Structure 1
C-alpha cells in the first residue's frame, strides 16, 4: 500500500511540473528555469543519495561520459524542450502528448532491440497515436495534413523522443543507484548550462511571487520529491507495473488545471482517454521495455 502511495505522489508531483512550468515560463526563460531547477535540487539530491544509497562515488564517476550524455538528453534537453513548448501550448496538451511516451519506447524497442510487441501492442500504439492526433488537430482529424501544427505541440513531440533515447541509453548504466545517477546528471546540467546562462545575460532569479513559487515547487517536488518517491516505490514494485501509474500524470494535470480554473475541452477528454487507453494496452505487454536503473519516468 505504501508503494502505491509513493507512486501516486511521484506522478502527482510530475504533473505539477507541467502546470508550474506553464506558469513559470511566463516570466522565467526556459534556460534559466532548467538551470535554476537543477541548481536548487542538486544539494538535496546529493545528500539523499549519500544517506539512502551510500554509493561508491569513484565507481559512479568512471561512467561520467554516459552520465554527461544522459544529463544532456534527459535532464537538460527534455526540460528545455518542455518549457519552451509550454510557451506555445497548454500544460494539459503537453501532458497528453507526453503520455504516448511508453508506446514510443515500445516502437524504439522493436526498431533498435528487435523486441516483439504482438498484435495487442500494435493496437495499443495505434490507439495512443490516434489520441495524440485528436489532441493535435483539436478534434479536426481530417485537417491533419493541411493545418499548421501548434509549435508547442511539435516541441513536445520532440521532447518525448529525446526522453525515449535518454531512457534507452540509461539501460547502459551499470551498478549506479537511481538517485545517485540523477544527482550526478544534475551536477553535469548545472556545470554545463552555467556558461550559457552567463552568456545570455546571467541568471535572472525570479522576484515575483507566482514564478518564484513555481520554481521552488519544480525544484523541491518535481526534481527531488518525485524522484525519491518513485525510486522508493521501485524497491517493491516492478518497473513495468509502476510504469502504468505514469498515465496518472495527464489525469492529475487535468485535475490541477480544473482546480486553478483552467477549462478542459471535450476533445482533450476524448484524446486523453484514447492516449491513456492505448498506453495501458502497450504497458501490459508480455515483454515490456523495462524502466532502466538510473533514470526516472519524467524529467
Structure 2
C-alpha cells in the first residue's frame, strides 16, 4: 500500500515539474526580450536542443530513415505549427505584453483545441464545452482590458496579447494534428526531426533579420530554453502520460497561469491585480467546464 502510494505521489510530481519548467520559460522569454531578438533566441533554442540530442539520435535516425520518409510532410507541418509559429510568436509577444498575461493566455490551449478539433476532426463540442469556452473568453477579455472594457477598443495596447492568442491558436493545431495523424514513430525521433525542420525554417528569417550574438546577458536564457522546456519538460510530460494517463496529466496545464504569475511577481516584479484574479478564475472555471464529457 505504501509503495503504491509513494509511486503515485512520484508520478504526480512529473507533470507538475514539467509545467513549472514551461512556466519559468515564459518568464525567461519576457526577461530576455531586452537582450536578444525573437528570431535569434528561437533559433538558438532549437539549435541547443538539436546539438544535445544528436549524439543519441543520429544513428537511430539513419536506422529509421524509412519512417522519416513516410511521415516527411507530417513532420514538416508539426514543426511549423508547434515549434516555429507558436514559439516564434510567443517570443515576439514577449516584447509587447507581460509574462503574467502570457501564462494566462497559454492556459487557453484546451479551449482552442476543442474548436480546432471541430474544424479538422469533425468532433462536435457538447454544451459544456461551448459554455466553458464562452466563459473563458470573457475571462480572457477581462484580463486583457485590466477590468476596463472600453480599453479593448485600443488595439495597440493589446498587440502582445493578440500575438500570444495567435500563438496559442497555432499550438492547438499542433495538438490536433498529432491526434489526427497518430504517427507510429518513437517520440524522441519525432521530436528530433521536428527540431531539425525548425532550424531549417529559421534560415530565411535569419538571412533577412540577422542573428544576434550570444553574450553574457543572454547565454543563460538561451541554454535554459534549449535544455529545460525543449527537452527535459517534454520528457517528464511523456513519463507522466505513461504513468497516470493523458487525461489526468493534461489537468496540470491549468497550473501554468498560477506558476507564471508567481515567478513573474518574484523575478520580474510584475503586479498581480484584481483583474488577473477575476479573469483568471473565469478562464479556469471555463476550462474545467469544457473538459466535461457528458452531454446535456
**Considering the TM-score relative to the shorter chain, is it more than 0.5?**
yes
Q: Which runs of 5 or more structure 1 residues have no equivalent in the other structure?
A: 288-299
Show CA shifts across 1:238-258 (max 9, x none): 222211111111111011112
Show CA shifts across 1:131-150 (max 9, x none): 10101111112554x33251
**Residue in 2 that maps onto 1:16:** 24
Kindly indicate whether residue 186 of structure 2 is the aligned counterpart of residue 177 of structure 1. Answer: yes
Kindly indicate whether residue 139 of structure 2 is the aligned counterpart of residue 131 of structure 1. Answer: yes
Q: Structure 1 residues 51, 255: closer, same or farther in 2, change over 3 A? A: farther
**Residue in 1 that maps onto 2:195:** 186
Select which of 217, 222, 225 maps to 2:229. Answer: 222
Q: Does the 8 Å contact 1:128/1:274 carry over to 2? A: yes
Q: Does the 8 Å contact 1:128/1:279 carry over to 2? A: yes
Q: Does the 8 Å contact 1:117/1:285 carry over to 2? A: no
Kindly indicate whether residue 101 of structure 2 is the aligned counterpart of residue 101 of structure 1. Answer: no
Q: Distance in 1 between matches of 2:110 and 2:259?
A: 18
Q: Which runs of 5 or more structure 2 residues have no equivalent in the other structure?
A: 1-8
Show CA shifts across 1:40-90 (max 9, x none): 011334456689999834313421111111111110111110010010000
Q: Distance in 2 between matches of 1:280 and 1:131?
A: 13
Deviation at 1:101, TM superposition (A): 1.4
Deviation at 1:234, TM superposition (A): 1.2
Q: Does the 8 Å contact 1:31/1:197 carry over to 2? A: yes
Q: Counterpart of 1:219 in 2: which secondary structure?
A: helix
Q: Does the 8 Å contact 1:89/1:152 carry over to 2? A: yes
**Residue in 2 that maps onto 1:297:** none
Name the TM-score, length of structure 1 as normaliser: 0.87
Q: Distance in 2 between matches of 1:212 and 1:204?
A: 11
Choose 255-264 or 22-31, whichever is displaced more.
Answer: 255-264
RMSD, aligned α-carbons: 2.4
Aligned pairs for 1:39-188 within 5 A: 39-46=47-54, 56-144=64-152, 146-148=153-155, 149-171=157-179, 172-188=181-197
Name the TM-score, length of structure 2 as normaliser: 0.88
**Residue in 2 that maps onto 1:238:** 245
Q: Distance in 2 between matches of 1:11 and 1:230?
A: 9
Select which of 250, 258, 261 maps to 2:257. Answer: 250
Kindly indicate whether residue 45 of structure 2 is the aligned counterpart of residue 30 of structure 1. Answer: no
Show CA shifts across 1:142-173 (max 9, x none): 554x3325110110111111111122122214
Q: Distance in 2 between matches of 1:181 and 1:81?
A: 22
**Residue in 1 that maps onto 2:292:** 284
Q: Distance in 1 between matches of 2:235 and 2:138?
A: 34
Choose 252-261 or 43-52, whichever is displaced more.
Answer: 43-52
Q: Does the 8 Å contact 2:100/2:270 carry over to 1? A: no
Choose 21-30 or 119-128, whichever is displaced more.
Answer: 119-128
Greater gyration radius: 2
Q: Counterpart of 2:272 in 1: which secondary structure?
A: coil
